[in-house]
Structure 1
Amino acid sequence: MPGDLDLATRALLAVPPPERAPLAETLLAEAALADRYSKRLGRRHTFGAGTLADAALRRPRAPGPALDAGPYLAALQTLLTAIAARRTHRGG
């Protein structure tokens, strides 16, 4: 999971700040869709096997900065907020 979070955060860093929250939601939606597809049909979706890392690897990513860098932490917070909102919306 830490690798998934890092790859997704770096994908968010590759776009301007106003585009990060929508991209975080897109990454999560693609991962969820691919996960359902893979479980149902027993094969990978074009989005991957249903991991956040697979969704992030399909996009440009910023180089790995220091984990305590301000922009990295802000992008990580955007991602974690999207994950929390998705879990709340799903009811768990």
Structure 2
Amino acid sequence: MTEDTIIATVKKNSRENLRVSLGKFVGHNLLNLRLWFTADVDGMERPSKSGFSLRITLIPELIAALQQAEAEARRRGLIRKENDHAA
């Protein structure tokens, strides 16, 4: 396993972030999505058990699915404007 390249971090709440990264495992290029949390003990960020990895080649399908979810959330009025994260 090689060191991941962090692409983005999305703040979930005051204690958790969703980290999007690219990495490699056993010769496979992967997209990694994992929740990281701030530990109470020392205030350091640590990876949680919540998350998943998928082949880089599936990124376009994931993007299409997320775009469909966004469109449906907007249709339902759950997202009002570009910068609104919740209704």
Q: Look at both structures and tell me which one has the larger radius of gyration over its CA atoms.
A: 2
Larger helix fraction of residues: 1
TM, length-normalised to structure 1: 0.32
